[in-house]
Amino acid sequence: MDGIFLVDKEKGVTSRDVVNQISKKFNIKKVGHTGTLDPLATGVLIIVLGKCTKLVNELTSTYKEYIATMKLGIQTDTGDITGKIINKKQYSGNIEKINKVLKSFEKTYRQTVPIYSAKKVKGKKLYEYARNNEKVELPTQEVTIKNIIPIKFTDDLITFKVTVSKGCYIRSLIEDIAKDLNTFATMVELRRTKQGKFKIEDCLKIADVKKSDLLSVYDILDDYIEINLDQKKYKLIKNGAIIDKFFKEKYAFFKYNNELISIYKEFGNNQAKPFIMYKN
């Protein structure tokens, strides 16, 4: 099986749990996902299978959309409501101030990676440092908040919709927003509603996923052309040769006798190289 399943991850399971369930359900070993969702979070989880595991970087590089709810006045060690409360602070403000602060985060900035994350520092995942009570300097990384839209504000809860770049942690964003509101905050709910072109409406609960729901590489990639090869070019392509890029699109789906042989991707100075090989 080569392709992707669009899963609506449920609360209380890890992204790895979903991968394992798909692997067992369809008896396939080569399975992965394209962006971790915390156990607390729900929503779009793209599961890649077979040769399409090579698409992970293509899919994770796209923008993601979330609906998040934050609770003002408390900070937890994990950055979400499942953690231990480590700070409290009263908050007094109004909807105008909240809207102004939210709008100010439509920008590119360096965000601190949360301690409870799988980001590696010196070969070890950050959450391992946290669990062992070891000190570590938290890294920062550049993220872009494309847009952020307030949805609801009641008492100490703020719900907003946000579209973010690769590498953005919503838990860190919430803590950054709280800082500008002169308080603390923690995440209480998170739902990924879109990743790239794939929307929550396209997703299925894992129990409902069937083999017929598998999307092919044709459904996944954009900006491609199909090219039928003559025998001379077929010999080059099937052996994975780097070629001069004679197509304008980002990807070329090379076929021989109407059978997909290889997908090539642009790289370097007007060249193309194998991306996914189907026949060799």
Q: Measured between alpha carbons, how far is residue 99 from residues 27, 173, 195, 199 in Å? A: 49, 15, 25, 26
| Residue 105: closest CA among 191, 60, 165, 62 | 165
CA gap 125, 73 in Å, rounded: 29
68 CB-near residues (< 8 Å, 6+ apart): 159, 160, 161, 162, 170, 173, 174, 187, 189, 190, 191
Phi, psi of 155 (to 5 degrees): 50, -110
Q: Measured between alpha carbons, how far is residue 12 from residues 36, 129, 133, 270 in Å? A: 13, 23, 25, 47
Q: Which candidate in 2, 38, 80, 176 is catalytic?
A: 38
CA gap 12, 15 in Å, rounded: 10
227 near 252, Cβ under 8 Å?
A: yes
Q: Say whether 38 is catalytic.
A: yes
Catalytic residues: 38
